Amino acid sequence: MSSKIKKEIQRRRTFGIISHPDAGKTTLTEKLLLFGGAIQMAGAVKSRKTENHAVSDWMSIEQERGISVTSSVMKFNYRDCEINLLDTPGHQDFSEDTYRVLTAVDSALMVIDNAKGVEAQTMKLMEVCRMRNTPIITFINKLDREGLDPLDILADIEDKLQIECTPLSWPIGMGKGFKGVYNIYQRQLHLFTPSQSTRTQDGVVVKDIDDPVLDELLGSQAEALREDIALLEGASNPFDHQQYLKAGQTPVFFGSAVNNFGVKEMLDAFIELAPPPGPRAAAERMVSPEENSFSGFTFKIQANMNPAHRDRIAFFRICSGKFTRGMKIAHHRLGKEMSLSNATIFMAQDRSNVDEAYPGDIIGIHNHGTIKIGDTFTDKEPLKFTGIPNFAPEHFRRVLLKNPLKTKQLNKGLEQMAEEGAVQLFKPLMGSNYILGAVGILQFDVVIARLKAEYGVDAVTEPVEYSSARWIYHNDRKKLDEFTNKNQANVAVDAEGHLTFLATNKWWLERTMEKFPDIIFQKTREYN
Ligand code: G4P
């Protein structure tokens, strides 16, 4: 492999943000893009969020999709690095895609609201990060507001997320008394000045924590800072880069995204600490990014960008080798050769054709339904990347067709949407109506609206009694059949033919798992 390609790999950082709605992900994203010079105007990312999510109005979903695709992957440069920020949709558009995006990143940034601590959605996303031990940097946001004691926030993270915290900066006061942050490792003091869009001045360098400059600048808060730092030295673990890379430890920064305070320090640390693209597991072997052969996988499909053309964009993460426009690749699932002549690279607010791309980069490939989530493409060797699964849905609805003559179209529409990962489809062993499963409830409205717009099918959904799903396995087919016979009312077959246990509640699920200890119940399932 040429040294140019090695260099390109080393300068790439591909990451996603995990947070609970309202913690400040959008605000922080905007500031990061400003530092990267990718957007000129603050507010460009924000405008997307304020779009109306009127789901009954199909056009508005379409418009929303148009916008969200450009911000699905944001590419920007900072210092010598080329950064790919993959959007993890939250709020109403929280879906399986949100989880799956995290299978395509090399690291994550966790944003925590200082008044709330660790919240539900962050815990769910953290669970996905755990699957691949994704390294995480933490940004505790909104220090310009009163919040929890910083030490309590760290304890909350350690307790709920089971990861060791190691603060690399420390806040001085909060809310009205917020004076700034002390960068523990660089021994720099950054004084808080609110409402700056791009902050350029550097911090004040101090000799050590006893430097009288601190007293001059902070007054009585200097002593409090010294006490905090002394306490931290005794209580918290020293930063260990290897531990961070193994996801055993998270470096923590404090700041205020809306005031663009503490963001640059965090970004500087991010590009130094966060890993460049590393080896990825395929079913056959580990694949190193530095291999000459091109390879990668699809982790997201965005459908019908233009309803008139029924086209789809497959989001494809490059794992090894170099992409060049027009190159021929092997689509192993179909056993076909494909030319990547119209791949798109994602820039914030813009899409442009790619001429070359490297491991860690995400390219968008237009297609008409030939690409599925989890598909691996290489230039020759048959490989199948693993770890891009289906996630057990948490919401369920039964689909009812208004016009029985449209059964065929309904089936086709649902099967295609299941392939895109827009929704999961279950056919119960008993009963004839399909059950839809999703990680976020907006998906049901999207499916019904798309059935009408794209397949001419009038359908509705109604609630069902299920609340969790687990894929079930056993080496011995007879044992699986025994289980299925005893639980007929709760077993369904998913879109790829796998048996799934649908439970009405958590208690019922746990009881069944205890009753059938040799059946394997899985929360995720790899694509065929
Ligand atoms: P999200 O994408 O994680 O959902 O959060 P978003 O950035 O939209 O931020 C949620 C709210 O928190 C916004 O207020 C935003 O302005 C505010 N916020 C973000 N960072 C900070 C911070 O450092 N300090 C303070 N005090 N607030 C912060 P909003 O009222 O929902 O919207 P807006 O009217 O301010 O735009």
The residues spanned by each domain of the chain are 15-74+105-273, 280-378, 392-526
CA 319–ligand 1 middle distance (angstroms): 35
CA 293–ligand 1 middle distance (angstroms): 44
User: What is the pLDDT, as a whole number, of residue 95?
Assistant: 86
User: For atom 25 of ligand 1, which residue has the closest CA?
Assistant: 142
Q: Which CATH class is domain 280-378?
A: alpha beta
Buried-exposed string 92-114: b where 16+ CB fall within 10 A, e elsewhere: ebbbbbbbbbbbbbbbbbbbbbb
Note down pLDDT in tens along the chain; length 528 residues. 678 889 999 999 999 999 999 999 999 998 998 888 765 444 445 444 444 333 333 345 445 544 444 467 888 889 999 999 998 987 777 889 899 999 999 999 999 999 999 999 999 999 999 999 999 999 999 999 999 999 999 999 999 999 999 999 999 999 998 999 998 878 888 888 766 555 555 677 777 888 888 888 888 888 888 998 888 888 778 899 999 999 999 999 999 999 999 999 999 999 999 999 999 999 999 999 999 999 999 999 887 655 566 678 899 999 999 998 889 999 998 999 988 877 776 654 455 666 789 999 999 888 888 899 999 999 999 999 999 999 999 999 999 999 888 999 999 999 988 988 889 999 999 988 899 999 988 889 989 988 998 889 999 999 999 999 999 999 999 999 999 999 999 999 999 999 999 999 999 999 999 999 999 999 999 877
User: What is residue 486's three-state secondary structure?
Assistant: helix
Q: d(Cα 446, Cα 93) in Å, to the nearest integer?
A: 10
User: What is the pLDDT, as a whole number, of residue 470?
Assistant: 97
Structural contact between residues 134 and 274, judged by C-beta atoms closer than 8 angstroms: no
Fold of 392-526: Alpha-Beta Plaits (3.30.70)
If one looks up domain 15-74+105-273 in CATH, what number appears? 3.40.50.300
Mutational pocket test of ligand 1: of 258, 259, 263, the residue with most ligand atoms within 8 Å of the beta carbon: 258
CA 525–ligand 1 middle distance (angstroms): 35
User: For atom 36 of ligand 1, which residue has the closest CA?
Assistant: 46
**Do 15-74+105-273 and 280-378 fold alike per CATH?**
yes
Q: d(Cα 168, Cα 356) in Å, to the nearest integer?
A: 36
> Would the CB of 424 count as within 6 Å of ligand 1?
no
> Would the CB of 257 count as within 6 Å of ligand 1?
yes
Mutational pocket test of ligand 1: of 17, 18, 22, the residue with most ligand atoms within 8 Å of the beta carbon: 22
> Would the CB of 422 count as within 6 Å of ligand 1?
no
CA 439–ligand 1 middle distance (angstroms): 25
> Would the CB of 18 count as within 6 Å of ligand 1?
no
User: What is the pLDDT, as a whole number, of residue 41?
Assistant: 43
CA 257–ligand 1 middle distance (angstroms): 8
Q: d(Cα 518, Cα 61) in Å, to the nearest integer?
A: 44
Structural contact between residues 362 and 316, judged by C-beta atoms closer than 8 angstroms: yes
User: What is the pLDDT, as a whole number, of residue 62?
Assistant: 46
> Would the CB of 174 count as within 6 Å of ligand 1?
no
Helix (H) or strand (E) holding 213: helix 212-218
User: For atom 27 of ligand 1, which residue has the closest CA?
Assistant: 142
Give the nearest ligand 1 atom to 29 CA. Answer: 7
Helix (H) or strand (E) holding 453: helix 442-455
